[in-house]
Amino acid sequence: MTHNLHRQGTRENLSNDFTVFLVPARGYNYDGAGPKKRRFWEIAFRNNVVNAGTNDIGGNLITLSPQELLNRIMEGKNMAACVCTSKKDVVNILKESLAEDFGISLVVQGIREEVEDCLRQVGLKPHAVNHSLGFWGRTDKLPDREVLEITTMCGHGMISTNLAKKCIEDVTSGRMTPREVARLLARPCVCGIFNTSRAEALLGRIALRAR
């Protein structure tokens, strides 16, 4: 999920986009990680997350109910992810997770200064930071910024440029609402890190401009 940090956008439209991960480390703390991932998601579900998932359970919070997600959690490998749209929710999830003392790595993706502020509020500092230096090589092959802002919300690249373009057309023509399209776009992202709320806002803005 390295690509998760390469989400494209402006300071304004990334400011409500946070992903929180609970990540077991192979060879260190896989054993007993299943129940901890379950508890992490239970915390997430009561803190307004708009999506959640992991790549080994065949669905995300858009395609499955919270209970179905909890029932499918597997022991050990792979992380549990959730998407927040406010710092307040991130802070609450961190506070509750720290109280549970999972002993498993926690990772937060978002605007760095905002993430650091969340950490200050729970009495922590960053341990390690992964920075994006952008896209190199044949960048002439990439779609325009509006499409990238949507497609890069899936860390594994499961949301195609063509699907994003079709969805933009469906919204601008009035065939579908931004909310309907945001949920459709979220389906291929099996890890559940696609931010449907942000997508809805981005698409709503595109629709307004088209009118």
Residues 31 to 50 in contact with another protein, rule: CB under 8 A: none
Smallest separation (angstroms) from another protein to the CB of 82: 15
Single-letter amino acid, residue 19:
T
With CB under 8 A as the contact rule, the residue among 38, 72, 95, 165 that binds another protein is 165
* Strands of 80-84's sheet in order across: 18-23, 80-84, 51-53
Site for another protein in 124-143 (CB under 8 A): 124-139, 141-143
Nearer to another protein, 48 or 160 (CB): 160
Does residue 76 touch another protein according to CB under 8 A? no
CA distance 163 to 98: 39
Chain position carrying tokens 């981005």: 202
Nearer to another protein, 42 or 56 (CB): 56
Q: What is the DSSP letter of 60?
A: B
Does residue 106 touch another protein according to CB under 8 A? yes
Nearer to another protein, 42 or 100 (CB): 100
CA 4 to each of CA 19, 35, 113, 132, 178: distance values in angstroms, whole numbers, following the listed order: 9, 25, 17, 10, 23
Nearer to another protein, 38 or 166 (CB): 166
With CB under 8 A as the contact rule, the residue among 78, 85, 195, 197 that binds another protein is 78
With CB under 8 A as the contact rule, the residue among 190, 193, 199, 207 that binds another protein is 190
Total residues in contact with another protein, by rule CB under 8 A: 77
Does residue 90 touch another protein according to CB under 8 A? no
Q: Could you count the other beta carbons within 10 Å of the beta carbon of residue 60?
A: 26
CA distance 24 to 18: 20
CA distance 84 to 52: 9
